[in-house]
Every structure is written in structure tokens, then in C-alpha cells.
């Protein structure tokens, strides 16, 4: 079975065409109707070790037949099935003979298209609700009666389509779960994928294992083995170039490629001069000495500093750094090349987002709104004349970590805090100079040392120092000082999209402050940033 069909709804970028090809394994297809949880459904299914992909709601029955998933899930969505612009699925999918689970909007669509009735409820149901199970077999095996499930709906099923039976209800929603057992069509009004739904995971397992008859084949070791085979088949005896940053994605990528093609891989580490203290040396040493993966070290510190001289605007700084990175990378590719392939650490969420799966065909409007502006220095121009190898493009971040761990990447890389592509250049506020970078590096090292030493590293999403381009007056000994302030930015977060300032114990802040002012020449004041995101951002620039 070749599952790599071309969906007309998916923008075929050159990268997508160059992808490694899909892994031929049983999968659950999720048709996305614009729910913020579509991606989460895929992750939950993958947690059961069954492969899952998010596809456009416009995927046709013929395309699905070709894909041959073991099951289909119709996601929730913001619309009412009666809206003029409500997204509908190809009605032929009900006749494919493939088990289907409709979630929230997906259930209402099923009811609407199969001859039942959906109507606006007198009372919508939002938040937690106790689910009372009327049929404890099949989908609800091992789901406790009275389980808490997460609801979020204004419309409800008023009448089930012919052939359907009631599986569960809540106090407010008479038809909270329904099924046509014979046709293996199921609908749930709640969201089993969210953590608040206590019986959600058993329900997903029942659907995946018992109803769709999937086996748990989506495992890290199976992924590694198949990726290695596919990388070898694709690359042959050609050479591959990889820009190593030291983050978990590029490091895992390097490991995987090295396992697959050994010395045909060249890793280039471009030192822009914006890494944390000791990190460039450490990274190169770790790869060369411990992992025996050779790394070409490119010292580009001077050219980056020169390009940034006199520049204070944050966006302009980012633009210049991005531009300089591409230029340096091109030079490096000539110097160490020629190369046929470029390895990129594209992940699955980037693929879903760039796939533009959620555009309404009539209006051209996006159905799901995802806000994400990650600026990555590693983002290389489209016109570099390389073919792409993107072995991680099917993985979520937590899956990359699992793969990284399984192939021997140390915890310090697998679980490290996020670090922005432009590095310390966006933490030296205003103009970046060598002197300011050095001051910031020393202060930042103290922050990290204190956090690590107290075992607090994993309590925080990020913990770092920011240097402000102003001076204030202080006194040390009997001397007046006039020096820079450093700001401590220590935050907790789930995903970087929102964040809160961490309630760091006072004595830890005290030690950091004392050490920074005493040990870092050029700093005489330390402040602690107590702004959440929003309205602040995590980085200062
Ligand atoms: P903000 O500052 O937008 O940051 O709240 C959110 C998360 O993204 C990281 N970040 C970046 N990561 N390249 C990256 O790879 C970048 O240019 C970049 N800018 C911000 C930031 O550290 C935080 O984790």
C-alpha cells in the first residue's frame, strides 16, 4: 500500500514533494473541521502507538480509499452544521466501510448527513460534565459510568439518524454518544482528546484497538529503523549537509542521519557569537568526541557583529541575523561541498500548518486560526539548490525527544530549554556589541548555574538574563558605579504561546543578584521581570 496520495487541498510545496515518503503503516486519518484540538487528537492516538495524520475535511472518499486508513475521526469545529459556510465532508465517506468516529461537530455532521436532526440547544454545555453510559460495551468498555468529559457545544443532536442507538447521555445532553454498530459509525458530543476528559483515553483506545483493529505499531524503534532504511534508499551514496544548532531537533536529525549514512553526512555549526557561555565548544566536543560525528565549526562571530553594528531595532536585528546566517551557510556549503541534499528538522506541526488544510473552498477563509510566529535562524531560503531530507516531518516534538533519547542523545540536549535562533543578540537589548555580549554571557551563566545546582531546571520553561542598554548609579565599597542593569527572565509555560513569570524562591533570586553584581564586571543592578505572556513576550525582543 502506498499511502502517499496527493491531496488537492494540500499546497504542495517543493519541500512536501521532497519528503521522505510516508511510512507504510496502519493509520487513523483525522479530518480537520477547524477544531483547535485536531492536532491533539492525532497526538492522543499516537500515544496509543498507532500512527495518525491530520487531513483536510475536503479529503474525498476516493482519496481516503487510496489512503486506506484503519479508521477515520471527524474533528470538532467552530461552525454549526446549518451555517451556510459550514464545512461538509464528502458524503461518500459514510459508505467506505471504514469505522468513523465523529467528535463534537464531527458527530453533528454525521447526524445531519445521515438523516437525523441537530438543533441549537436551549442551554449549551461548556466545561466538565458527568457522562452516564447507556451501553457499556464497544466504545465504552472500561470507561467508568459518571466519568468526567469535556463539553463545548451550542448545538445538540435532537434526533438520531435511522440505525443509530444511544450510547451515553449527560444531564444537559440526551444524545452525548451514539452509534450505528453495524456500520461502525460512532459519534461523541464531548472531547475525549483533552486532558480534562477522564475517560477519554480509554475511549480512544477502544476505538483504535477494538473497533478499528489497529495494532500498536507506531513505536520509536520502528520509526528509527524505517527512517534509516528510507534515508538510505533516498540518499544513496550522495552527500548531505546539515546545519547543527545544538537544539534537540537538529541534534536528533544529525544522529539519525549519521546512523543511516555515516560520513556522507556533514554537520556544519555556524557560531554567530550569540550562544551561551561555553556552549559552542561544548557542542562541538560532544559531537566529535562522544558521538563521533564530525562537525565543521565555522567561526562567523566577527561578520555577524559587523552586520549588526549600530542597529537597535529588534525586527531589523532579526532580519540581519537571518540574512547573515543564510549567507554564511551558503559559503560553508561551497567550502565543504558539493552536496546533493540538505537535511532539515521540519516537524509535523509545521507541515500541518503550512499544508493550508483548513481553507474554506467557497470563501477562501481559514477555518482554524493558529497563531505561531517562530522565527528561526535555521530557516533556509527556498532557492538553495538542494534536495531536502526531512526525516522528522512526521513527528511531534515529544516524539522527536523520544527518538533522540532512543538513539543515545543525552538528557541535557533532549530536555533543554528552548533557545531562540538569534540567541543572545535578542537578549542584548538595542545595539549588540562584543562587550555587551560578554557581560550578558557571564550573567546568564550565573542564572543557569544557580538554577541547575538547586535542581530547578525542569521547573521552568526558560530561565535567562537580559542586558539593558542603559546605565544606572550604584555604590560598591566606597565607589560610585555607573553600569548596566541585568533583568532576570524566568518563566513557566506549557508551549511558549502563553507564559507566567516563575515564582522563584527569594533566596535563589538573592544569590543570583549578589553573584551577578559581584562577579560580572559592568553590571551593578539586577531586576526580575514579573510580566506574564500576554501581554509581555518571553524574549524581550
Ligand atoms: P516569545 O518571545 O515570542 O517566544 O514569547 C516564545 C518562544 O519562542 C522562542 N523564540 C524563538 N525560537 N527562533 C526560535 O527558534 C526565534 O527567533 C525565536 N524567538 C523566540 C522563545 O525563546 C520562547 O521559547
Domain 427-528 in this protein, CATH class: alpha beta
Query: What is the atom index within ligand 1 of the atom nearest the CA of 497?
Result: 6
Torsional sign, CA 329, 330, 335, 341: positive
Catalytic: 193? Answer: yes
Q: Cite the beta strand spans of 325-468 per DSSP E.
A: 341-343, 387-389, 462-467
The 8-class DSSP code of residue 399 comes to H
Identify the band that residue 146 occupies on the pLDDT scale cut at 50, 70 and 90.
very high
Closest C-alpha to ligand 1, atom 4: 538
Q: What is the pLDDT of residues 11-39, one digit of tens each?
A: 333 333 333 334 468 999 999 999 989 99
Q: What is the pLDDT of residues 439-466, one digit of tens each?
A: 999 999 999 999 999 999 999 999 999 9
Identify the band that residue 533 occupies on the pLDDT scale cut at 50, 70 and 90.
very high
Q: Which candidate in 39, 89, 104, 214 is catalytic?
A: 104
Query: How many whole angstroms from 464 Cα to the centroid of ligand 1?
Result: 13
Closest C-alpha to ligand 1, atom 6: 496
- DSSP output for 470-516: --EEEEETTEEEEEEEEEEEEEE-SSSSSBEE----HHHHHHHHHHH
Q: Please tell me which residue, 379 or 106, carries the higher pLDDT value.
A: 106
Domain 26-211 in this protein, CATH class: alpha beta
Query: How many whole angstroms from 375 Cα to the centroid of ligand 1?
Result: 7
Identify the band that residue 178 occupies on the pLDDT scale cut at 50, 70 and 90.
very high
Average pLDDT score, the chain:
89
**Crossing angle for the helix pair 220-235 and 397-406, to the nearest 10 degrees:** 90
Whole-structure pTM value: 0.82
Query: How many whole angstroms from 24 Cα to the centroid of ligand 1?
Result: 35
220-414 is a CATH 3.40.50.970 domain: no
Catalytic: 191? Answer: yes
Matching fold, domains 26-211 and 427-528: no
CB atoms under 10 Å from CB of 412, counted, come to 11
Closest C-alpha to ligand 1, atom 10: 420
- Name all residues whose Cβ lies below 6 A of ligand 1: 374-376, 418, 420-422, 462, 496, 533, 537-539
Respond yes or no on whether the N-terminal peptide bond of residue 534 is cis (omega within 30° of 0).
yes
Report residue 115 as a C-alpha cell. Answer: 438523516
Give the per-residue pLDDT at 84. Answer: 87
Residue 10 has pLDDT above 50, yes or no: no
Give the per-residue pLDDT at 366. Answer: 40
Give the per-residue pLDDT at 356. Answer: 44
Return the domain boundaries, the chain.
26-211, 220-414, 427-528
Q: What is the pLDDT of residues 355-383, one digit of tens each?
A: 444 444 454 444 433 322 344 534 566 66
Q: What is the pLDDT of residues 400-438, one digit of tens each?
A: 999 999 988 999 899 999 999 999 999 999 999 999 999
Give the per-residue pLDDT at 290. Answer: 87
Query: How many whole angstroms from 321 Cα to the centroid of ligand 1?
Result: 14
- DSSP output for 239-280: -EEEE--SSHHHHHHHHHHHHHHGGGEEEEEEE-S-SPTTHH
Q: Using CA atoms, how far apart are residues 45 and 113, in angstroms rounded to an integer?
A: 26
Amino acid at each position: 500500500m502506498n499511502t502517499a496520495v496527493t491531496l488537492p487541498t494540500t499546497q504542495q510545496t517543493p519541500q512536501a514533494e521532497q519528503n521522505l515518503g510516508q511510512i507504510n503503516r496502519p493509520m487513523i486519518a483525522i479530518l480537520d473541521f477547524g477544531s483547535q484540538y485536531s492536532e491533539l487528537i492525532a497526538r492522543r492516538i499516537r500515544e496509543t502507538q498507532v500512527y495518525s495524520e491530520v487531513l483536510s475535511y475536503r479529503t474525498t472518499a476516493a482519496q481516503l480509499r487510496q489512503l486506506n486508513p484503519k479508521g477515520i475521526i471527524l474533528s470538532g469545529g467552530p461552525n454549526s452544521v446549518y451555517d451556510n459556510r459550514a464545512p461538509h465532508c464528502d458524503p461518500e465517506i459514510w459508505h467506505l466501510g471504514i469505522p468513523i468516529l465523529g467528535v463534537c461537530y464531527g458527530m453533528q455532521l454525521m447526524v445531519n448527513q445521515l438523516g437525523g436532526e441537530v438543533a441549537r440547544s436551549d442551554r449549551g454545555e461548556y466545561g466538565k460534565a458527568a457522562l452516564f453510559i447507556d451501553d457499556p460495551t464497544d466504545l465504552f468498555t472500561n470507561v467508568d459510568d459518571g466519568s468526567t468529559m469535556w463539553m463545548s457545544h451550542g448545538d445538540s443532536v435532537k434526533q438520531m439518524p435511522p440505525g443509530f442507538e444511544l450510547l451515553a447521555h449527560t444531564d444537559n445532553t440526551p444524545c452525548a454518544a451514539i452509534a450505528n454498530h453495524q456500520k461502525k459509525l460512532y459519534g461523541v458530543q464531548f472531547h475525549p482528546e483533552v486532558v480534562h476528559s477522564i475517560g477519554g483515553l480509554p475511549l480512544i483506545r477502544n476505538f483504535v484497538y477494538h473497533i478499528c483493529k489497529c495494532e500498536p505499531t507506531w513505536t520509536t524503534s520502528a520509526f528509527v529503523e524505517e527512517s534509516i532504511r528510507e534515508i538510505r534508499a533516498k540518499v544513496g551514496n550522495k552527500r548531505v549537509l546539515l546545519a547543527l544548532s545544538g537544539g534537540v531537533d537538529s541534534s536528533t536529525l544529525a544522529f539519525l542521519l549519521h546512523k543511516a549514512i555515516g560520513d556522507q553526512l556533514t554537520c556544519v555549526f555556524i557560531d554567530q557569537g550569540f550562544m551561551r557561555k561555553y556552549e559552542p565548544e561544548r557542542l562541538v566536543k560532544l559531537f566529535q568526541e562522544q558521538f563521533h560525528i564530525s562537525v565543521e565549526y565555522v567561526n562567523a562571530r566577527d561578520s555577524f557583529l559587523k552586520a549588526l553594528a549600530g542597529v537597535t531595532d529588534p525586527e531589523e536585528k532579526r532580519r540581519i541575523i537571518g540574512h547573515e546566517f543564510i549567507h554564511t551557510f551558503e559559503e560553508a556549503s561551497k567550502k565543504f561541498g558539493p552536496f546533493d541534499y540538505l537535511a532539515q528538522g521540519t516537524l509535523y506541526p509545521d507541515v500541518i500548518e503550512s499544508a493550508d488544510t483548513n481553507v474554506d473552498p467557497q470563501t477562501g477563509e481559514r477555518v482554524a486560526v493558529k497563531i505561531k510566529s517562530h522565527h528561526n535562524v535555521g530557516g533556509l531560503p527556498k532557492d538553495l539548490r538542494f534536495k531536502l531530507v526531512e526525516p522528522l516531518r512526521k513527528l511531534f516534538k515529544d516524539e522527536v525527544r523520544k527518538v533522540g533519547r532512543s538513539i543515545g542523545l543525552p538528557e541535557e540536549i533532549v530536555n533543554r530549554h528552548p533557545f531562540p535562533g538569534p540567541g543572545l543578540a535578542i537578549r542584548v537589548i538595542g545595539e549588540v556589541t562584543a562587550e555587551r555580549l560578554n557581560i550578558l554571557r557571564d550573567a546568564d551563566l550565573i542564572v543557569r548555574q544557580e538554577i541547575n545546582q538547586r535542581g530547578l531546571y525542569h521547573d521552568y520553561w526558560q530561565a535567562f538574563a537580559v542586558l539593558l542598554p542603559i546605565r544606572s548609579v550604584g555604590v560598591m565599597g566606597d565607589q560610585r558605579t555607573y553600569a548596566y542593569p541585568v533583568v532576570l527572565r524566568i518563566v513557566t509555560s506549557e508551549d511558549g504561546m502563553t507564559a507566567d513569570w516563575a515564582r522563584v524562591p527569594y533566596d535563589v533570586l538573592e544569590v543570583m543578584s549578589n553573584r551577578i553584581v559581584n562577579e560580572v564586571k559592568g553590571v551593578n543592578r539586577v531586576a526580575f521581570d514579573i510580566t506574564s505572556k500576554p501581554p509581555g513576550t518571553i524574549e524581550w525582543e
